[in-house]
Structure 1
Amino acid sequence: MSITSLSIKKIRNLSEVAFTPAKRINIIHGANGSGKTSLLEAIHFLGLTRSFRTNQFRYLVTSAERESLVYSEVDSYSAGKSHPLGISRNLDGDVRIRYSGATLELSELASLLPLQVINTDTFELLEGSPAIRRQFIDWGAFHADQTFIMIWRSFKRVLQQRNSLLKCGKIDPTLRELWDKELVQYADQLTALRKAYIEVLIPDFDAILHRLNSDLDIRLSFAPGWDQKIPLDTLLNDNLQRDLKQGFTSAGPQRADLKVKVDGVSAAERLSRGQKKLVVSALKLAQGAVFHRMSQRPCIYLIDDLPSELDEQHCRLFCEFLEQTHNQCFITCVDPASLLGFWQPETEVACFHLDSGQLV
């Protein structure tokens, strides 16, 4: 997977930028406010029709404009042949996704262009809510199994319906039994896919964390969202009065979590900032490694200000690992000298300078 050409229009301060990235390592440097992160946002927009910094599109589109557009040529399956991919979105909410002359759904786009983001917000994998870690798990499960998206959507539909009935304060027992039976069916399938993915991820995470020269004893474990010693249908029945009072379902995959612990304590509470950066980086790199092994396709990594949280030694080790993978990387920094010395002569590295939203 690689982007062979990229044209960006009307995203933040990037009024119009076009360039041809390298297939491996791309370093984008410039002063703060020059548009480096905006360029990464544009690539994220290309893959998911939204920014990784905000859920509000109006903040992504250039001021006083109504539409953003990113056009590219992508070699999606590393076959040596590129196809056109274009994404447009306007303030009215209209989104157009066109790939090689055909219109795609969002799930098809996400499968076509697998993206991994590493930035300051990646710390939320440790410090944030369980919803962020569920999203991390679901990215991997989505790419690992084609049935995941159908099962996930079906579970969400049934859960929303059950919660709507709970909010009414009364549920006909026969109707509740039907919804609970369907919810348990999809919950078991969804949980099995999530659990299987984490079991595959753990060995890669352990190996990569070790390669990053960390002596941390980090343990990953999957929490499904309820005590599996008790059947979910029994738990739903036992919790009915509490669920009616609260207006939502209190047990199930919607409460699943990825537990990250060191010495039996939450990593978010025990680790330093630098150690957390190593752990979340290892999680993201492991996810890319698992994806490549399962699909024989590389990811695209968007890495914002890599040197800011890692010392020189760990930054070098991080780059050495990236160099040995097949991923295309877009890495931002203020000073290119902080990164350019980390690569082997045979590695394809391109360096781009951004100044006030323009490539110089």
Structure 2
Amino acid sequence: MPITQLNVQAIRNLSELSLTPSSSINIIYGANGSGKSSLLEAIHLLGLCRSFRTNKLNHLIQSGGERCTVFAQLDAMGSGISQPLGVERDLAGESRIRFAGKNIDLTTLAELLPIQVINSETFMILEGSPGVRRQFLDWGAFHSNPEFIRLWRGFRRVLKQRNSLLKYGKIDQRLRAVWDSEFIKYAEQLNTLREVYIEALKPEFDLILADLLEGVSIELGFSPGWDKKRGLDQVLEENFERDLRQGYTGAGPQRADLRLKVDGHIASERLSRGQKKVVVSALKLAQGVLFYKLNSRSCIYLIDDLPSELDRQHSRLFCNYLEKTASQCFITCVDKESLTGLWSESTETCFFNIQEGALSTQ
């Protein structure tokens, strides 16, 4: 489902930029501050209607402007037929998303253009909060089962209602029983989809990691957000008084976490910085491989400054796996030569030089 044509307007220092990318590997190179990462940011906006670098639209939209726009021709299903996709955001926070001449919502957009980001923030999968790991996990669950988004929305609605009752402080027992029943129903189904996804991800991750990081074994585990030795109904009952004092629900899928361990120890505390780079890269690659197997189409990788994230040896291995995923990739670097010679001769590779927010013709 590659992007066959891309046009960017008013994103940071990219006043107006147009390019025809390769369906495989696209290397965007140039000096720091030239606009390389902004181009990746534009593609992320196209797929998710938001930036991966900031939540503030006044930082994303070019200084002095009121809106930004990204437009593309997209072969969404890999059929060889491209259709127009456009996303517009303005300073007021309004969004406009159109595909093939029709308005679409964020869920449809995410399904059309599945995007994986690998940058310095990717390390937060190991070092960050459980929320970061849930986001990683739910990306996969969303793209592996169409029921996920319905269950996730239903659960969030019930959780919000239960927390509102807890904050109010006085809860009718019959009303509490109704919401607890709904909470448990959605929680258990949501948990099942997450567990199924992790079990499918494990073999892909193990295989890739064995090639990228020889001699290191990572155990992938999962905590659902409550003690599975007891039923969730029992947990909610036992925790009710504490939840009432705190004003929110302390157990459930909203507390789920992906656990990564080395020899029984938390991976982030045992691995070197370089090893962490390889592990999070393997996780992202595994998601891409599994996505392809489940959906018969590939995702798009946005990789910011690959040479700084991996040494030459690991970069070569990483690039070999990118080729195997058949994914369209947009990869930034400062020095063009740092990403030359890493690809097979049969891989279609395009290089784009960005200087001061514009494509160089040199």
Q: Could you state the TM-score of these two structures normalised by the residue count of structure 2?
A: 0.98
Quote the Cα distance in structure 1 between the aligned partners of 2:129 and 2:57: 23
Report the CA distance between 1:92 and its aligned residue. 1.2
The 8 Å contact of residues 298 and 327 in structure 2, kept in 1 or not, is answered as yes
The 8 Å contact of residues 78 and 297 in structure 2, kept in 1 or not, is answered as yes
Report the CA distance between 1:64 and its aligned residue. 1.1
Q: Provide the secondary structure at the position in 1 that maps to 2:325.
A: coil
1:295 and 2:295 matched: yes
Match of residue 336 from structure 1: 336
Report the CA distance between 1:229 and its aligned residue. 1.0
Question: How many percent identity over aligned positions?
Answer: 59
Match of residue 307 from structure 1: 307
Instruction: Note the alpha carbon deviations across 1:1-58, whole angstroms, 9 max, x for none.
Output: 1000000000011010001000000000000000100000000000001000112222
Q: Provide the secondary structure at the position in 2 that maps to 1:346.
A: coil
Quote the Cα distance in structure 1 between the aligned partners of 2:147 and 2:230: 26
Q: Matches of residues 1-360 of structure 1 in structure 2 within 5 Å?
A: 1-360=1-360
Q: Which amino acid aligns with 1:136?
A: F
Q: Which amino acid aligns with 1:53?
A: R
Which consecutive residues of structure 2, in runs of 5 or more, have no partner in the other structure? none
How many residues end up aligned between the 2 structures? Answer: 360
Q: Provide the secondary structure at the position in 2 that maps to 1:239.
A: helix
Quote the Cα distance in structure 2 between the aligned partners of 1:60 and 1:70: 12
CA-atom RMSD in angstroms: 0.7
Quote the Cα distance in structure 2 between the aligned partners of 1:322 and 1:235: 44
Quote the Cα distance in structure 2 between the aligned partners of 1:167 and 1:259: 31
Quote the Cα distance in structure 2 between the aligned partners of 1:104 and 1:113: 13
Report the CA distance between 1:74 and its aligned residue. 0.5
Instruction: Note the alpha carbon deviations across 1:39-94, whole angstroms, 9 max, x for none.
Output: 00000000001000112222111111110000000001111110000000101121
Report the CA distance between 1:310 and its aligned residue. 1.4
Q: After the TM superposition, which parts of structure 1 deviate over 3 Å for at least 4 consecutive aligned residues? A: none
Quote the Cα distance in structure 1 between the aligned partners of 2:299 and 2:103: 22
Quote the Cα distance in structure 1 between the aligned partners of 2:58 and 2:228: 43
Q: Which amino acid aligns with 1:98?
A: R
Report the CA distance between 1:223 and its aligned residue. 0.7
Q: Provide the secondary structure at the position in 2 that maps to 1:324.
A: helix
Instruction: Note the alpha carbon deviations across 1:126-182, whole angstroms, 9 max, x for none.
Output: 000000100111100101110110000000000000001101111111100000000
Quote the Cα distance in structure 1 between the aligned partners of 2:32 and 2:15: 17
Quote the Cα distance in structure 2 between the aligned partners of 1:100 and 1:195: 35
Q: Which amino acid aligns with 2:174?
A: T
The 8 Å contact of residues 208 and 286 in structure 2, kept in 1 or not, is answered as yes
Quote the Cα distance in structure 2 between the aligned partners of 1:213 and 1:180: 45
Report the CA distance between 1:105 and its aligned residue. 0.6
Quote the Cα distance in structure 1 between the aligned partners of 2:159 and 2:324: 43
The 8 Å contact of residues 27 and 350 in structure 2, kept in 1 or not, is answered as yes
Which consecutive residues of structure 1, in runs of 5 or more, have no partner in the other structure? none
